[in-house]
Amino acid sequence: METLGNQQLQYTGKVQPQDGERDAYGQRLYPYFPHDDLVEVVNLAIFLERPLLLKGEPGCGKTRLAAAVAYELGLPLEIWPVKSTSRARDGLYTYDTVARLRDAQLAANSRIFQEEEIKRISNPATYVRWEALGKAFLSQQRTVVLIDEIDKADIDFPNDLLMELDQAWFRVEEIGKTVRAKTVPIVFITSNDEKELSDAFLRRCLFYYLEFPSDNQLRKILKAHFPQSSQELVAKAVNRFKQLRQEMQKQQIGKKVSTSELIDWFKVLSRYPQDEILAKLEGKLPYPWVLLKSWEHHRRYLNRGDDY
């Protein structure tokens, strides 16, 4: 595997955060339980210096992988949440034209500006703010970058990133500067298949499809979030949850429940005495409002509750 100084960059999936640890964004960190194949493809992406494109239904763990890799390798994490209005440049840098114009007008109409302040205003680089991918290119330390939900943006968005992802450089036209990566970042890209990605973009990526977590993985996830819960309660909740997913898949109506909804649902279950909840899990689906997110599923639950 590749080395950086004396550090060997190899992800194992076995180094997990301690209870209560938080990342640089203040978000609580939870253990991540990857398949062996996923561990292998992450290491291939690191070695080949290629982005890893992750697909899979919502709740399968696409987004959280980047944080897990950054945590184990001790690397900084930069997150670029893509929106429908995002442009490719937004993840590299932004240039505040309005602020520069405002400062220039203030300087022209005031005598109190010092020489140093005039120099600052006259330098266009003052108004450049580096964003996730730009920060990663400028960093001396290899950085993990998450480009989250790339398919939310315009159909041309991925193609506008081809050079940056393939050759690791970009041009800041406003200041006439070319930024070349000091270290090639470890890039994870997630997609929910809302739009097709071009062949040219796919050619530059490694690809992995994340299957929905197995029963054993779901039990591990719940125990990581709720360590005080009994094995019996966790097992019965997971079993009931999987029955619901299977019924939803059979009906082919709306989205299936995901792990985030399982966690919310189990949090509700945990509010009550265990004996009471275990009994509820044997009957009609308890607290369905946390799990059922479409009117069609609610209608079926209300009219034919035995389906669930």
- Decide if 141 is inside a domain: yes
Residue 186 phi, psi dihedral angles, 5° rounding: -95, 110
User: How many angstroms separate the CA atoms of 138 and 178, rounded?
Assistant: 11
Those residues whose C-beta lies under 8 Å from the C-beta of residue 4, and which sit 6 or more positions away, are 141, 142, 183
199 or 107: which leads in pLDDT = 199
132 half-sphere exposure, CB direction, 13 A CA radius: 19
Q: Do residues 224 and 192 share a domain? A: no
- Decide if 125 is inside a domain: no
User: What mean pLDDT value characterizes the chain?
Assistant: 87
C-beta of residue 220 within 8 angstroms of C-beta of residue 61: no
**In terms of residue numbers, what domain contains 82?**
3-92+131-209
Last residue of a domain, one of 150, 174, 209: 209
Sort 246 into a burial class: Cβ within 10 Å, 0-12 / 13-18 / 19+: exposed
- Decide if 120 is inside a domain: no
Last residue of a domain, one of 173, 188, 209: 209
Report for 70-84, 109-123, 188-202: range of highest mean pLDDT = 70-84
Residue 297 confidence (pLDDT): 78
C-beta of residue 245 within 8 angstroms of C-beta of residue 222: no
Question: Does 176 have pLDDT greater than 70?
Answer: yes
Q: Do residues 295 and 177 share a domain? A: no
**Distance of CA 284 to CAs 239, 280, 295, 308, Å?**
14, 7, 18, 7
Q: Do residues 205 and 219 share a domain? A: no
- Decide if 180 is inside a domain: yes
Q: Do residues 243 and 204 share a domain? A: no
Confidence class for position 3, pLDDT limits 50, 70, 90: very low
Q: What is the mean pLDDT of residues 57-82?
A: 92
Q: Do residues 11 and 155 share a domain? A: yes
Q: What is the mean pLDDT of residues 17-21?
A: 81
C-beta of residue 185 within 8 angstroms of C-beta of residue 136: yes
Q: Do residues 180 and 254 share a domain? A: no
Question: Does 6 have pLDDT greater than 50?
Answer: no
Worst-scoring range by mean pLDDT, 162-176, 225-239, 241-255, 293-307? 293-307
Using DSSP's 3-state secondary structure scheme, residue 142 falls into coil
Using DSSP's 3-state secondary structure scheme, residue 7 falls into strand
Residue 4 confidence (pLDDT): 44
User: Percent of the chain beyond pLDDT 70?
Assistant: 89
31-47 pLDDT per residue, tens: 899 999 999 999 999 99
Residue 1 confidence (pLDDT): 46
Torsion, CA 63, CA 68, CA 69, CA 73, rounded to 10: 150
Q: Do residues 141 and 272 share a domain? A: no
User: How many angstroms separate the CA atoms of 246 and 238, rounded?
Assistant: 12
Task: Count the domains in the chain.
Answer: 2
Those residues whose C-beta lies under 8 Å from the C-beta of residue 131, and which sit 6 or more positions away, are 80, 90, 91, 92, 93, 94
- Decide if 198 is inside a domain: yes
266-283 pLDDT per residue, tens: 999 999 999 999 999 988
Question: Does 16 have pLDDT greater than 50?
Answer: yes
**Would you state the structure tokens that stand for residue 220, as one six-digit string?**
């591990």
Beta strand spans in the chain (E): 3-4, 7-8, 52-55, 77-81, 93-95, 128-130, 144-148, 169-172, 177-180, 186-191, 206-209
* Residue in 298, 296, 244 with CA at minimum distance from that of residue 266: 244
- Decide if 296 is inside a domain: yes
189-242 pLDDT per residue, tens: 999 887 888 899 999 999 999 998 999 999 999 998 898 999 999 999 999 999
User: How many angstroms separate the CA atoms of 41 and 43, rounded?
Assistant: 5
Question: Does 142 have pLDDT greater than 50?
Answer: yes
Element (H, E) at 245: helix 231-251
Report for 117-131, 199-213, 245-259: range of highest mean pLDDT = 199-213
Residue 52 phi, psi dihedral angles, 5° rounding: -110, 115
**DSSP class per residue in 158-223:** GGGGHHHHHH-EEEETTTTEEEE-SS--EEEEEE-SSSPPPHHHHHTSEEEEPPPPPHHHHHHHHH
